A and B are shown apart, each in its own frame.
Chain A
Amino acid sequence: MAITEQECKELKKRATQIRKDIVDVTGWAGGSHIGGALSMTEIMTLLYWKYLKVDPNNPYWDDRDRFVLSKGHGGVGHAVVLAQKGYFDPELLKEFNHSGSPFGMHLDGNKVKGVDASTGSLGHGLPVAAGMALGARVRKKDWRVYCLMGDGECDEGSIWEAAMAAAHFKLNNLIGFVDRNHLMIDGFTEDIMSLEPLAEKWAAFRWKVYEVDGHSFTELAAAIEAAQAYNDGPAVIIANTIKGKGVDFMENKPGWHYGGLNADLIAKAKAALDREE
Chain B
Amino acid sequence: MFSEVQLVSILGSVLLLLVVLELVRKGKLAEEYSLLWILTAVVLLVLSLWRGILDLLARAIGIYYPPSALFLVGFGFVLLLILHFSVIVSRLARRNRELAQALALLREELESPRREKEHD
* Mutual binders A and B: no
- Chain B residues within CB distance 8 Å of chain A: none
